[in-house]
Structures are given as structure tokens and as C-alpha cells.
């Protein structure tokens, strides 16, 4: 039974010097900690039970110290605990020992007998039949009924009902019923925390200093196993019976114990060499990256491949002190389950995602992001649709992102927020007390102030952007627009590299996004590859091919490009039957009404032009509404003589750089580029056109088709030098170099 200790005494009095001396002198240390009620306080909404920023930082320091093996032992599913801990590299034993999660290996699960499985199914059905459905949680090796948030009498009645319903089922199926803090559970007899502790002890040296910290009846199994072999510490319930040797009053005292543990080790363990640990990088974006799936031997791969920016950021994560990528999963959940971080993937980097509710997707993503911010930032005033309700949901989702992220952060971390969906996340993290360095990169244009002022409370967006330590744009034009807005709205001062406003200093700069040229280069795409690339040979026949590759979006100028094709064939009729435009449109925002209408209009326009201009054996336009892998696109780019990149407005447009990288240097195609694409500030050797003027665009196409080989080679050589020097990796490295600088 635990010794009586006054709860208002200092921590060292609660855990005596003999405890700390044994810990310091031990050749190995094992610290096992229960989750709910021990590491974190109980919460009525169980997925809101996250460590406080202070507790998370204390646990993180101890985990990363290397001098103590830390294991979380919980009745929750292991992956659920891993999600709540935000990717912390710690062993997690879940479901009372039924599961085990290792940071780099994922989850290993044990098995139940068929009789146990049948019993748990019967327990679930019986609980639902008695009206307890809303309180039931199905776990990997148990069924739990939670009473947190209920009044005392109501909770007592619910626990008694569950106990009476489940006890005969447990007896028939070889299960057991147990109470825990806040409910009743029916579970397998073969897995409990005592067995989990026994397994962990077997993995450690015989003279390990082992400590288990827990708070309820399920932890007593662990305390009993440790008797004579280690130390048990009971949290809370100062009057209850326990097999633990010592007590702590609450999770805050557990946090103090973690800090004191680390401090005691620093007294005796000093690093042999002073090494600066790289900062962790936390990347936050609205949508998570999609990494290219492996092709099955007898299957042709279709679908979206990993983008160059995702590859660059993944590489940056690997070369920092670890980290993770956090974003929206693209999925919806009921409101009570949404916004909860959960592991999405671990390879090639830890990825955590949150779901949103249907209401949030409609108002935040389909609403304010796509109806207001997207058209406004691209200077399409006529497409802007404003709603103060959607603005409030946008802010609410930004706040939810920040609240989910904050417990994972320590002040030494670097946080990199991406794009217009999450403009306010940095300011929200500041409000929540995070003082570490936060960067923001805008992947779309930043408009002039007169366009920005269309937004309701537009000044709050500029104020939020000013909270970042580093802010980046693709081009000098976008940077200038931002600086002017800050000068006018915030009365800021600009010295050529740093912006000073409201007591903060911010580094603002141009960081042109790039690609990974090797993914598109001829040698990678064709030579030595066992995979057969798709070809356009059957499509082009004896004619000459032009190609456009875009998402189906009104900013891309696709209808205007087709009208330019019509002008080309009317002005130069000798080209009829000798040239074909291949237009690939990747589906985009298929639930947004404006994009549904745009696809309908595109289908009609392509049909009209082919009917009016085509022949029985030739169509001027081939229109493909689908996505292709980058390897296939690289092959397509090489087979085309002209690349058409003619957006009405674009942040950068990496297709232009992909087309350049894919060309054969000895026989390159010609890039026709809109002067309103961000890439036009770099790729000045392209044939520049005004996509709003069909005659000008047609002229540019005709110039590209008639360009002499020597001029094509010279222009391509100059552009390729820029594409290969300003890569996606350099873009990420340049931004993170400035973000990690000691002074802003």
C-alpha cells in the first residue's frame, strides 16, 4: 500500500531522494506512463484529451534525451494515442497490451479467439439494446462504456446496467468485466497492463530502474507486477487502496516529475561532445501530399503522382531534426469527431491529418477559400462571392488547425505554413503562446491593394500575415503588392529585406518555386527504365503536336487558348490538317458549381471547334479530362513541338518548367508562355503572349511552329539553366535557411 504523503508538499518530498538516487545510479531506466488521468486530465470529449503544451514539451525532452526508455501504456487503441501525441517517437502499448505501436514500425496487433470475438460482439449488441449506444466505444480487444460528463447518480445507474448486462456474457465467452475511471469495460482476460509491463521488463536489463505511473483500477495490474521489481506511482484518489509505493495528486504533478527526472539526469549525465541538434520542421498545409504509388507489374499506372514541391518539402523534413506534415485529410467526419489529428502515413515521412465536418468543408473550403480567396488573389473580381458566415468558419478552421498543432510544438521547432487556406494559423499559434519561428509561403499571387480591399475586414489578413517571421512569394510583383499593403495598412517600414510593423520584424522575400528536373529529363524518363512510357505517336500521326496541361480552372485560360487555336487556323489556313492541340485537363474541385459549369462549357467549346474546323481524318483539338503520372507527362512533353502555358493569372505554373526540363537539348520544343504566369519573370526566353488577346496568342503559336532549330536550342539552353539551378530543393532550402536564421 502506498505511503501517505501530503499533497501540498513539494515534489521532492513526494518522491524522496532515495527514489531519485536509485534512478540516477541505475545502468538503465524504464518509465511507463498511463495516458488518461495520468499524463493528461480526463476529458468528456475523449479526443480532446491532449497533453498541455508544457506537459508535451516535458515528455518530448525526456523521450529525446536517450537516457530513459519511455513507454505509454493505455487502454486506448495505440494509434489513437500516437495521434494525440502528434508523432512523438515513443513506444505505445495500447488496448491494455493487445497492441504495440513503434514510431518507425507502425502497429503490431495480437489476436483474439473466436469465442472472445463473439463475446465482444454480443456485448456491443446488448449495450445498444439497453440504450447505452451513445456511450459505447469499440476497442481492439474490448468494449467500453464511458460515463464521463454524466451526473453522479446517472453515471452510477449506467455503470450498474452495463455491469449487469455484460457479466453473464463475460462468463460465457471467457472475458472479464472491469471498472475504470469513468466507465465499465468488458475485455479479454489475456491482455492487461500487468502483462504489458511483464513483457517490457523482459526486454530490459535485469538491473533496470523500472517505474510505472497510473491512476485507476486497470493500472493496479501493473503495480502488482512491479512489486519487488520496480516502483509504482498512483495518481489521484489519495484515500483509495493501491499496490503502488508512491502517490502524486494529478497530471500536473506528473509533468513536474518528468521535468525533475530530466533535471536529475543532467546532474550526472553530460554529453561528451556539444552537438547542436537541428530544429524540427513542422509543415502545415490545407491538403496533404500524395506520394506516387508503385506500379503493379502487369498494370498501367494512372492517377496523381507526387509533386515536386511535396518532394522538396519531404527532403527538407528528412534533413532537419525530424518533424511531420499536418493537413486536412480531404475527408469529412461528424462534428464531434472532426478536427482530431490522426496518423495518415509514416513513409517517407510522418503525416498527420484532421477531418473536417461537412459544414466546415462547405463553408471553409468550397465556400470562402474557393468563392472568395481564390478568385480575389488571382484578381478575378467578377468571380468573388462573399459571405460573413463563410469568413467566420474560415477563421474557425484556422483556429482549429492551430489548436491541434500547438500541443505538438516546442519553441525550438520551425513551423512552415503553406498557402491561402491557412493565413491566420500563425497568428492563432502566437495567441496560444508559441514563440518559435513560423514561416508562411503563398503559392498563388498576392493581388494589388484595391483588389485585396474587396475582402471583408481585409486589414486583418494583412495583420495576420505580419505575424510570421518569414513570408515568401514566387515573384517580385507579388512581394511588391504585399509590401505596399503593409505600408498602407500597418504603417510598416521596409529596408529592402526586412519589414517592421507593430513591434515585429519580418523577413519578406522572393522564393521562386521549382521542380525536380531529373524527374522529367529524357535520361530518367526513357533510358534504362523497365517501364514503358505512354506515347502520343498514334495521336499525332504525320502532323505536328502542341500540348497544354492544366487543372480545369478558370484562371488557366483554357477556353481562351482554344479560341486562339481557332484564330490560328483561320489566319494561317495552311496549318489545317497539319497541327493538333492536345489539351489535358486534370479534374478540379468537382463539387464546386462553378467548376461543374466550366467543364460543361469546355465540352461544348471543344465539340463546336472540332465540328467547325475538323476533317473526317483530323481533329484540331484532342481533349482529355483526366490526370496522368509525371513520368507519362514527361514523355508527352517531349513528343510535342510546342508547350502552351497561357494562364490568365498564375502564381508560378510549374508546367512551364516541366516542359523545359523534359525537352531533348538537341531537338527541343518551344514554350509559349503567358506574361501573367509567375514563371514569366524567370523564363524570359519563352515566346511571351497575352492570353486575353486571341490574335496575340495565335501569333505566338505561329512563331513557335516556325522557329529555326538554332534559335530553339539557344532559347532552351538558357531556360534549362534556370530550371536546373532553381529547383524545388533549392526553393525549400532557401526558405528554411532564412526561417532558421537566428535573427529575422
The answer to whether position 1 is within a domain reads no
The answer to whether position 643 is within a domain reads yes
Of 510, 540, 572, at which residue does a domain stop? 510
What is the layout of strands, in order, in the sheet containing 231-235? 106-109, 99-102, 91-94, 69-73, 29-34, 209-214, 231-235, 246-248
Measured CA to CA, the distance from residue 19 to residue 247 in angstroms comes to 13
What SS3 state is found at 703? helix
Question: Are 480 and 438 within 8 A, CB to CB?
Answer: no
Helices (H) and strands (E) in the chain, counts: 26, 28
Which of the residues in the chain have pLDDT under 70?
Answer: 1-14, 103-105, 267-278, 290-312, 314-322, 335-339, 346-349, 523-542, 589-592, 742-744
The answer to whether position 211 is within a domain reads yes
Supply the pLDDT for residue 468. 97
Other CB atoms within a 10 A radius of the CB of residue 275 amount to: 7
Residue with the three cell numbers 533510358: 527
Do 36 and 184 belong to one domain? no
Do 526 and 637 belong to one domain? yes
* Domain around 464: 281-291+302-510
Per annotation, catalytic residue among 216, 413, 650, 738: 650
Question: Are 317 and 323 within 8 A, CB to CB?
Answer: yes
CATH number at residue 82: 3.40.50.1000
Per annotation, catalytic residue among 192, 418, 424, 443: 443
Any idea what DSSP says for residue 370?
A: I
Do 643 and 553 belong to one domain? yes
Q: Which of 337, 328, 402, 384 is nearest to 361 (CA)?
A: 328
CA angle 563, 307, 673 (to 5 degrees): 30
Of 492, 510, 528, at which residue does a domain stop? 510
Do 498 and 603 belong to one domain? no
Residues 6+ apart with CB under 8 A from 372: 384, 385, 386, 387, 390, 391, 455
Do 409 and 496 belong to one domain? yes
Question: Are 186 and 169 within 8 A, CB to CB?
Answer: yes
Phi/psi for 453 (5° steps) reads -65, -10
Measured CA to CA, the distance from residue 662 to residue 652 in angstroms comes to 18
Measured CA to CA, the distance from residue 682 to residue 189 in angstroms comes to 67
Of 188, 209, 228, at which residue does a domain stop? 188
The answer to whether position 673 is within a domain reads yes
Residues 6+ apart with CB under 8 A from 443: 309, 418, 419, 420, 474, 513, 651, 652
Measured CA to CA, the distance from residue 134 to residue 45 in angstroms comes to 12
CA angle 584, 329, 278 (to 5 degrees): 105
Residue 410 buriedness (CB in 10 A; 0-12 / 13-18 / 19+): middle
Do 246 and 325 belong to one domain? no
Do 323 and 434 belong to one domain? yes
Q: Which of 658, 336, 317 is nearest to 517 (CA)?
A: 658
Give the helix/strand (H/E) hosting 439. strand 437-441
Supply the pLDDT for residue 589. 67
Active site residue 156: no
Do 480 and 629 belong to one domain? no
Other CB atoms within a 10 A radius of the CB of residue 449 amount to: 17
C-alpha cell, 23: 534512478
Active site residue 411: no
Residue with the three cell numbers 486506448: 76
Do 342 and 438 belong to one domain? yes
Measured CA to CA, the distance from residue 465 to residue 343 in angstroms comes to 29
Question: Are 101 and 79 within 8 A, CB to CB?
Answer: yes
Do 182 and 323 belong to one domain? no
Could you please report the per-residue DSSP string of 152-213? HHHHHHHHHHHHHHHHHHHHHHTEEEEEETTEEEEEETT--HHHHHHHHHHTS-TT-EEEEE
Residues 6+ apart with CB under 8 A from 92: 71, 72, 74, 78, 81, 82, 85, 100, 101
Measured CA to CA, the distance from residue 727 to residue 735 in angstroms comes to 12
The answer to whether position 744 is within a domain reads no
What SS3 state is found at 335? coil
Measured CA to CA, the distance from residue 288 to residue 158 in angstroms comes to 41
Supply the pLDDT for residue 322. 65
CATH number at residue 381: 3.40.50.2000
C-alpha cell, 163: 455491469
Number of domains in the chain: 4
* pLDDT tens, residue by residue, 200-235: 998 888 889 999 999 988 899 899 889 878 999 999
Q: Measured in Å, how far apart are the chain's first and last C-alpha atoms?
A: 56
Residue 330 buriedness (CB in 10 A; 0-12 / 13-18 / 19+): middle
CATH number at residue 142: 3.30.70
CA angle 126, 129, 131 (to 5 degrees): 115
In the chain, % helix, strand, coil (3-state, to 5) comes to 45, 20, 35
Could you please report the per-residue DSSP string of 279-307? PPEEEEEEE---PPPPPPTT----SPPPP
CA 201 from centre of chain: 36
Do 646 and 588 belong to one domain? yes
Question: Are 143 and 117 within 8 A, CB to CB?
Answer: no
The answer to whether position 736 is within a domain reads no
CA angle 733, 419, 447 (to 5 degrees): 110
Supply the pLDDT for residue 717. 96
Measured CA to CA, the distance from residue 723 to residue 651 in angstroms comes to 16
Residue with the three cell numbers 478552421: 397
Dihedral of CA atoms 181, 183, 184, 190 in degrees, nearest 10, equals -50
The answer to whether position 59 is within a domain reads yes
The answer to whether position 377 is within a domain reads yes
CA 590 from centre of chain: 22
CA 230 from centre of chain: 40
Measured CA to CA, the distance from residue 151 to residue 154 in angstroms comes to 5
Residues 6+ apart with CB under 8 A from 231: 19, 209, 210, 211, 212, 245, 246
Do 168 and 197 belong to one domain? no
Amino acid at each position: 500500500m502506498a505511503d501517505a504523503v501530503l499533497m501540498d508538499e513539494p515534489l521532492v518530498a513526494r518522491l524522496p531522494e532515495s527514489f531519485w538516487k536509485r534512478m540516477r545510479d541505475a545502468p538503465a531506466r524504464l518509465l511507463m506512463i498511463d495516458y488518461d488521468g495520468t499524463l493528461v486530465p480526463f476529458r468528456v470529449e475523449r479526443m480532446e484529451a491532449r497533453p498541455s503544451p508544457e506537459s508535451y514539451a516535458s515528455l518530448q525532452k525526456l523521450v529525446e534525451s536517450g537516457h530513459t526508455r519511455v513507454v505509454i501504456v493505455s487502454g486506448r487503441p495505440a494509434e489513437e494515442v500516437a495521434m494525440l501525441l502528434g508523432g512523438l517517437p515513443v513506444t505505445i502499448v495500447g488496448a491494455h497490451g493487445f497492441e504495440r505501436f513503434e514510431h518507425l514500425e507502425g502497429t503490431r496487433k495480437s489476436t483474439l479467439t473466436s469465442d472472445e470475438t463473439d463475446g465482444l460482439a454480443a456485448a456491443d449488441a446488448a449495450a445498444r439494446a439497453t440504450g447505452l449506444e451513445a456511450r459505447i466505444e469499440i476497442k481492439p480487444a474490448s468494449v467500453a462504456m464511458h460515463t464521463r460528463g454524466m451526473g453522479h447518480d446517472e453515471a452510477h445507474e449506467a455503470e450498474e446496467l452495463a455491469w449487469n448486462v455484460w457479466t453473464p456474457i463475460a462468463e460465457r465467452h471467457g472475458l472479464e468485466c472491469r471498472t475504470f475511471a469513468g466507465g465499465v469495460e468488458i475485455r479479454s482476460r489475456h491482455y492487461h497492463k500487468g502483462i504489458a509491463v511483464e513483457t517490457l521488463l523482459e526486454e530490459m536489463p535485469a538491473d533496470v530502474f523500472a517505474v510505472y505511473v497510473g491512476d485507476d483500477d486497470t493500472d493496479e495490474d501493473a503495480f502488482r507486477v512491479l512489486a519487488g521489481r520496480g516502483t509504482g506511482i498512483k495518481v489521484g484518489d489519495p484515500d483509495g487502496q493501491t499496490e503502488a509505493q508512491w502517490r502524486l495528486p494529478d497530471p500536473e504533478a506528473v509533468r513536474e516529475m518528468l521535468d525533475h527526472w530530466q533535471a536529475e539526469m543532467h546532474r550526472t549525465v553530460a554529453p561528451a561532445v556539444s552537438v547542436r541538434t537541428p530544429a524540427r520542421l513542422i509543415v502545415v498545409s490545407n491538403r496533404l501530399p500524395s506520394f506516387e504509388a508503385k506500379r503493379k507489374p502487369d498494370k498501367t499506372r494512372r492517377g496523381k503522382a507526387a509533386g515536386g514541391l511535396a518532394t522538396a518539402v519531404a527532403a527538407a523534413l528528412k534533413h532537419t531534426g525530424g518533424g511531420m506534415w499536418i493537413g486536412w485529410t480531404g475527408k469529412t467526419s461528424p462534428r464531434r469527431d472532426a478536427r482530431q489529428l490522426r496518423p495518415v502515413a509514416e513513409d517517407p515521412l510522418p503525416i498527420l491529418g484532421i477531418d473536417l465536418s461537412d459544414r466546415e468543408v462547405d463553408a471553409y473550403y468550397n465556400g470562402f477559400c474557393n468563392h472568395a480567396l481564390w478568385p480575389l488573389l488571382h484578381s478575378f473580381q467578377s468571380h468573388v462571392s462573399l459571405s460573413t458566415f463563410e469568413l467566420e468558419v474560415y477563421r474557425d478552421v484556422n483556429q482549429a488547425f492551430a489548436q491541434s498543432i500547438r500541443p505538438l510544438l516546442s519553441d525550438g521547432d520551425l513551423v512552415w505554413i503553406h498557402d491561402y487556406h491557412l493565413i491566420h494559423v500563425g497568428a492563432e499559434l502566437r495567441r496560444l503562446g508559441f514563440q518559435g519561428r513560423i514561416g508562411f509561403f503563398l503559392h498563388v499571387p498576392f493581388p494589388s491593394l484595391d483588389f485585396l480591399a474587396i475582402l471583408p475586414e481585409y486589414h486583418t489578413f494583412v495583420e495576420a500575415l505580419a505575424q510570421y517571421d518569414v513570408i515568401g512569394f514566387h515573384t517580385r510583383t507579388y512581394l511588391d503588392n504585399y509590401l505596399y499593403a503593409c505600408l498602407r495598412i500597418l504603417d510598416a517600414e521596409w529596408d529592402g529585406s526586412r519589414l517592421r510593423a507593430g513591434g515585429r520584424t519580418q523577413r519578406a522575400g522572393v522564393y521562386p518555386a521549382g521542380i525536380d528536373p531529373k524527374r522529367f529529363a529524357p535520361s530518367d524518363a526513357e533510358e534504362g527504365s523497365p517501364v514503358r512510357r505512354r506515347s502520343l505517336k498514334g495521336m499525332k500521326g504525320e502532323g505536328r503536336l502542341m500540348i497544354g496541361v492544366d487543372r480545369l480552372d478558370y484562371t488557366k485560360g483554357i477556353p481562351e487558348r482554344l479560341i486562339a487555336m481557332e484564330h490560328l487556323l483561320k489566319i494561317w489556313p495552311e496549318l489545317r490538317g497539319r497541327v493538333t492541340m492536345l489539351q489535358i485537363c486534370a479534374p478540379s474541385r468537382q463539387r464546386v458549381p462553378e467548376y461543374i459549369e466550366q467543364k460543361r462549357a469546355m465540352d461544348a467549346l471543344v465539340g463546336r471547334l472540332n465540328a467547325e474546323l475538323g476533317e473526317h481524318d483530323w481533329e484540331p483539338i484532342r481533349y482529355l479530362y483526366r490526370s496522368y503520372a509525371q513520368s507519362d507527362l514527361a514523355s508527352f512533353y517531349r513528343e510535342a513541338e510546342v508547350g502552351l502555358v497561357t494562364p490568365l493569372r498564375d502564381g508560378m505554373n510549374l508546367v512551364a518548367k516541366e516542359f523545359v526540363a523534359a525537352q531533348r537539348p538537341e531537338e527541343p520544343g518551344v514554350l509559349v508562355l503567358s506574361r501573367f504566369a509567375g514563371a514569366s519573370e524567370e523564363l524570359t526566353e519563352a515566346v511571351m503572349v497575352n492570353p486575353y488577346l486571341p490574335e496575340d496568342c495565335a501569333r505566338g503559336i505561329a512563331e513557335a511552329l516556325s522557329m529555326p532549330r538554332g534559335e530553339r536550342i539557344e532559347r532552351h539552353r538558357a531556360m534549362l539553366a534556370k530550371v536546373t539551378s532553381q529547383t524545388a530543393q533549392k526553393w525549400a532550402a532557401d526558405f528554411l535557411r532564412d526561417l532558421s536564421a537566428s535573427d529575422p
